[in-house]
Each structure stands twice: as structure tokens, then as C-alpha cells.
Amino acid sequence: MNSKLLITGVGGSLDDISYSLNALTYVLNELNKSGAETRLIDIKECNLPLFSYAKTRKTAKRDIKNFMDLLHTSDGLIFSSPEYHGTVSAAFKNFIDHLEYISSYDPPYLTLKPIGCISLGGGDNSGIYTLNTLINIVHSLRGVTVSGNVAIPNAKNAFDEKGKLRNENIKRKLKRLAGDVYYVSSKLSIKSYN
């Protein structure tokens, strides 16, 4: 049996250079350094249909089920979204809406799953509304948010022209988030009860 923690990151944007995806990748790399096994779900590559209770659930595709199974079996998660007009992006929200598929799993949704949240905005005071939205989403899905969630204002100034994170203060916060997710996931993991 593999005793490594499995942490999955969900995020990104539809842009060619996605700061939210790059911040998420940074955290996943830190988790790898801690000994976790990580997976990345890039929103841009999901190509999900718009969610509809009436239509989409009846025509579930295999890739949607694969995404949902991965989230449900992960020991912990990281959510990362850009802030668009004070909330998460439409692409991220559409992915979240598809989590209705795991309402019938045991346990349902993301029950007691530790989840870290990252939001990125373009202005001086941006990111915090989206961070609050992400936390509300986690609680609605019965998950547990860790304490070190990160809102990144002026995201374009935190990254270089190729999208690499250059702000040392943000790096420090993201490393702390990785540590929080790792620690709480190790305590709440089903594997720890076996």
C-alpha cells in the first residue's frame, strides 16, 4: 500500500500564461518536496460542458468521472482561481458545479477533505473577495479549509514576463500553505486511521 499523501491541485485560467496555475504549481512542487504525491487538474485542459442538473448528469463522460474520482480519493486539495469581477472565474465555477457528481459518493462531496485556497487579482486590493468565495465553496462541499489560504493582489507584479513567481513574500505564503495542507491532510487522511 502506498503511504504517500495524495494532494490534487485544481485551478488555472483560460489564458496562455495563467498566474493562478503557476501559483498552484508552485504549491504542488513544495508539496512534492515534503514527500507528497501530487496531481494537477488544469481548468483549461478539462474542456467540461456547462453544468446542468437536468442534462449534464445524464450524459456524464468518462473524463468527468475520472476528475471526480481523483478529487474524492485525494487526501487533500488545493483550489486556485483568478479573481474576475470580485469572484472566481466562470471556468473554475463550472468545474466546481460538476462536483455534484460526487454527491452520491461515500462520503459525499469533499467531506472532511483538507483544502487550501489561492486567489489572484489584478488590483491593489483584489483577491480577498475571491478567497472568501473559495472558502465558502469548500464549506458548501463539506470540506475543511486550512488556515494559511493566500490572496495575491497585483498578480502581474508577483510574476515575471514568463509567468514565473518572483515575489519572495508570496513564495513564503505559498510555502506555508503547502505545509498547512500537508500537515492537516496527514491528520485527516483515511490512511491514518488504518
Q: What distance, in Å, lies between the first and last C-alpha atoms of the chain? A: 11
- pLDDT tens digits along 36-82: 999 999 999 998 888 888 776 665 667 788 999 999 999 999 999 99
Q: Is residue 1 part of a domain?
A: no
Q: Is residue 40 part of a domain?
A: yes
For residue 186, give the nearest of 22, 37, 14 by alpha carbon: 37
- pLDDT tens digits along 107-136: 999 999 999 999 999 888 889 999 999 999
Q: What is the pLDDT of residue 58?
A: 62
Cα–Cα distance for residue pair 144/142, rounded to 1 Å: 7
Cα–Cα distance for residue pair 134/89, rounded to 1 Å: 11
Q: What is the pLDDT of residue 34?
A: 95
Assign residue 102 the CATH number of its domain: 3.40.50.360
**Secondary structure string (H, E, C) spanning 99-130:** HHHHHHCCCCCCCCCEEEEEEECCCCCCCHHH
Q: What is the pLDDT of residue 190?
A: 63
Q: What is the pLDDT of residue 57?
A: 60
Q: What is the pLDDT of residue 193?
A: 35
Split into its structural domains, the chain has a count of 1
Domain that holds residue 183: 6-193
